[in-house]
Structure 1
Amino acid sequence: MKKQAVVAGFVLLSFTLPLKATAASFTKFYVFGDSLSDTGNVFTATGGLVAPTTAIPQEPPYFQGRFSNQQVWVDYLGDQLGLTPSPYITLNPTIPNQGINFAVGGASSGQGNAVVPNAPLPGVLEQVGLLTQPILQVNQKLDPNALYAVWGGANDYVFGQATNATQTAQNLSDAVGLLASSGAKNILVFNLPDLGKIPFAFATEQSNNLTALTNDHNNKLAEELGKFSNNSDLNLISVDVFSLFNQVQANPGKFGFKDVTNPCLVGNFQTIISVCPQPNDYLFFDSVHPTTGVHQLVANAALAAIEAKSVPEPAINLGILALGAFGAVGVVKRQQKRSAGRIFDAQLALADSLSDRCNTPASTLLPRGDATRT
């Protein structure tokens, strides 16, 4: 089958123009990750639906369980795809949904939580298991027409004890492999922005170390993902967040930002000291997490990568389809056609498997008063 080369590099137009998924049509949207992708799991687990001002993250100034001032990339990309994944902790098993968001703030790349190690909160690889294990137990496969997104690793380096990227990259590669072996065909994978440039790194004098770990992570992750190149049935879509953040920080005015160094919010997720009057002027909302404008750029970059895999070669209309695969030229399979289909019976099995976790008292999931959560 004919294959398509992905050109390394970003085109600024792809970050600034609103895009529509005209060539790709997915039946569902599943997300696995950490606080950059969490749309309410930690918030609900810490009592946010009852007492939002004492939950993690505190609302306000955080937005509806997101670790940002407004929507995150999952929301923006979901809007473009016409799909809204439900946070798994609040999943209602009686209602067919458009996908599930398993992402949990503080999630490690593998098992558990790098910020709250004794809490029953799943890491990224563990999150994938929450979806795949119930599906396989009822002798079914994952929906091949759904979109699956994997983004993690930052907590291993910022809050965990990882001194190199070997295990973290392997965990994320294993997550992709588990999805693929369970029937997933369309998998988005994100690399990391330069963690040495986040305000937390400067405040804790870890900038050089975190930059080195980021480079190690992105290189090793690219190597791991390269092992899937012979799988002609897999549409592996890489999103180069590292290059995106570097371009924004090098030319903030082109993207509408005025401050790409300091956080808008001073304090932590529960103890807010001050919040700037114009958060969208800032790249960072707090010392770790970006503002909603950055999340929209990430969503646009992801959609551009999806579109690049979904149109006949060599049409790179308006330049918006030239999205790099982690800064390297890779060979990927072009998507053919997608048909409608659902796996509702398997969804019910999944919901049953999650019921115990959903019913866990919030007080047992996350302790209060930790000043370094993500």
Structure 2
Amino acid sequence: MFSKLVSCSIALALSVSAASKRLIVFGDSLSDIGNVDRAKNVIPWVPGRFSNGPMWNEYLAYKNNYTLINYAYGGATCNNTFINSFSGLNITIPSVIDQITMFNSTFGGKFNSSSIEDDIVVIEIGTNDILGSSDAFATGKIDTQLFTTGFVNNVLYGVNFMAKLGYKKFVIADIPNLELIPFAQNYEITGRTMLNNYIVATNNLLSSSAASLVATYNGSIDYVRIASFYKFLKVAAEPSVGAALNFVSTSAGCYISKNNTLTTACSSSDDYLYFDDVHPTTRTHALFSAVVEKVIENSSFDIVESNLIDLIKANNITSVSSTQNYLFSNSSDNTSPLKVDEYTVKNATANVAFLTGSSSQPSSGSGSTSPSPSSSSSSSSSSSSSSSSSSSSSSNSSSKSSSSTRYTIFNLASVLMPLSLLMLFI
């Protein structure tokens, strides 16, 4: 599935000018479209994605005519230095801070300020920050203030950095409701509740801090909006929404593995909210895309059952599947190219001149990126699908920015720094 997908033709790429509005995404496996080259895994993710089909940002880019520049890496955290300092892990996959550094190294100063006014920057992160140390979180061994403040400061640092580059529109996808994912069923109710307490505290601080940050810019940025992955997964699991999606299960994963041995496999992954024990199916991604679109249109959009059911109907979400999909060039052929003008890190780097308007010709491999491993620019030795953090401890062999060490300012001693002082480092 998807294995024969190749880059869209030069004609398609030329049809999208460098002046097109862009969707720039930083994040983890909930957003990755091919930046991580995963090791062989028994979970049958489609190449380049941690799902059974296209990802939410691909649906969003297509429906709104955005050029998608995707820097998300499966296994990423907000900041490796910060997470490693209390987790004892050695995460090397590019974090959000690393991803933004890489983007700046490639594109910083190359876009005309007027050409990026309508671009949207998305930061989606947090799953691996929690699941990478899930046992410690589930038993309350992590200092709540330390984690919440450090996490939020790192995310907002990313917003500040991109704002200084001239970007004005921001969406932050908060930490998903990990209490409900199949992986969390490995813990007793007390452990799941403890995980949830950390996430709720962090998301609450993220929301209030994002609102405060907008005020400090005195109108020089348009908005920083929260697209709540937390609320979305909680409401999507409600029986009424699951029925509207034609799901047979909103709590189990279609594929579950242990020690890279498949222990559970369903007959049709399109009937499930979750493809594995962490990652949603492509139909779920399509619905979340519609939610993000609404949040961009209306900051007061509320993620409740009635609104999700309305979105399912309005966007014909039930027609989306891993085998038939309006993103496929041939909607009934899942080996056909995607109808999305999108770029992984590798392809974006190869097409800087075209994307910034200094060249009218894209390089080969532009347009819709190939979801095959050959389009990836990082390697992972993940051997389990237990979470998107299954690749957190894996080695990144080629794409991590050499300048990432400059962000060691976010160590344990500095995470309590007032947000107002954060601006000094930008």
TM-score under structure 2 length normalisation: 0.59
Q: Paired residue for 2:119?
A: 146
Aligned-residue offset at 1:183: 0.6
Question: Structure 1's 218 and 302: CA in aligned 2 closer, same or farther, altered over 3 A?
Answer: same
* One-letter amino acid of the structure 2 residue matched with residue 233 of structure 1: S
* One-letter amino acid of the structure 2 residue matched with residue 30 of structure 1: I
CA displacement 1:228-270 (0-9 Å, x = unmatched): 2323132223212222222222232233322112111021695
Q: Quick one: which of 35, 39, 42 aligns to 2:36? A: 42
* One-letter amino acid of the structure 1 residue matched with residue 26 of structure 2: F
Distance 1:274 1:255 in 2: 22
Q: Paired residue for 1:224?
A: 209
Q: Quick one: which of 227, 239, 255 aligns to 1:265? A: 255
Q: Paired residue for 1:358?
A: none
Q: Paired residue for 2:200?
A: 215
Q: Paired residue for 1:253?
A: 243
Aligned-residue offset at 1:213: 1.4
Q: Quick one: which of 60, 63, 70 aligns to 2:53? A: 70
Q: Paired residue for 1:123?
A: 95
Question: Map of 1:1-374 to 2, 5 A cutoff?
Answer: 27-43=21-37, 46=38, 54-55=39-40, 61-83=44-66, 98-111=67-80, 118=90, 120-136=92-108, 143-160=116-133, 163=142, 164=144, 165-205=148-188, 206-230=191-215, 231=217, 232-234=219-221, 235-251=223-239, 252-267=242-257, 271-308=261-298, 343-344=356-357, 365-367=379-381, 369=383, 372=386, 374=388
* 8 A contact 1:26–1:81 mirrored in 2: no
* One-letter amino acid of the structure 1 residue matched with residue 288 of structure 2: V
Distance 1:290 1:268 in 2: 18
Question: Structure 1's 269 and 35: CA in aligned 2 closer, same or farther, altered over 3 A?
Answer: farther
Q: Secondary structure at the match of 2:30?
A: coil
Taking only aligned residues, the RMSD between alpha carbons, in angstroms, comes to 3.6
* 8 A contact 1:148–1:184 mirrored in 2: yes
Structure 2 unmatched runs, 5+? 1-18, 300-306, 312-353, 360-375, 389-426
Distance 2:45 2:204 in 1: 33
Distance 2:88 2:385 in 1: 11
Aligned-residue offset at 1:278: 1.9
Aligned-residue offset at 1:120: 4.3
Distance 2:247 2:211 in 1: 35
* 8 A contact 1:69–1:285 mirrored in 2: yes
CA displacement 1:18-67 (0-9 Å, x = unmatched): xxxxxxx9611211000000011113xx4xxxxxxx53x66x72122211
* 8 A contact 2:279–2:387 mirrored in 1: no
Distance 2:56 2:163 in 1: 23
Question: Structure 1's 102 and 238: CA in aligned 2 closer, same or farther, altered over 3 A?
Answer: same
Aligned-residue offset at 1:150: 0.7
Q: Secondary structure at the match of 1:178?
A: helix
* 8 A contact 1:116–1:366 mirrored in 2: no
Q: Secondary structure at the match of 2:116?
A: coil
Distance 1:288 1:275 in 2: 15
Q: Secondary structure at the match of 1:67?
A: coil
* 8 A contact 2:256–2:276 mirrored in 1: yes
* 8 A contact 1:143–1:343 mirrored in 2: no
Distance 1:283 1:173 in 2: 30
* One-letter amino acid of the structure 2 residue matched with residue 236 of structure 1: V
* One-letter amino acid of the structure 2 residue matched with residue 159 of structure 1: G
Question: Structure 1's 299 and 99: CA in aligned 2 closer, same or farther, altered over 3 A?
Answer: closer
Q: Secondary structure at the match of 1:228?
A: helix
Return 217-226 or 260-269, whichever deviates more: 260-269
Poorly superposed stretches of 4+, deviation over 6 Å? 112-116, 137-140
* 8 A contact 1:197–1:211 mirrored in 2: no
Distance 1:117 1:42 in 2: 19
Aligned-residue offset at 1:82: 2.2
Question: Structure 1's 222 and 368: CA in aligned 2 closer, same or farther, altered over 3 A?
Answer: closer
- Aligned-pair identity in percent equals 24
* One-letter amino acid of the structure 1 residue matched with residue 128 of structure 2: N
* One-letter amino acid of the structure 2 residue matched with residue 35 of structure 1: S
Aligned-residue offset at 1:224: 1.7
Distance 1:116 1:76 in 2: 37
CA displacement 1:291-337 (0-9 Å, x = unmatched): 1121111100011112226xxxxxx9xx97xxxxxxxxxxxxxxxxx
Distance 1:138 1:74 in 2: 24
Distance 1:148 1:364 in 2: 22
Distance 1:307 1:191 in 2: 18
* 8 A contact 1:38–1:105 mirrored in 2: yes
* One-letter amino acid of the structure 2 residue matched with residue 208 of structure 1: T
Q: Secondary structure at the match of 2:75?
A: coil
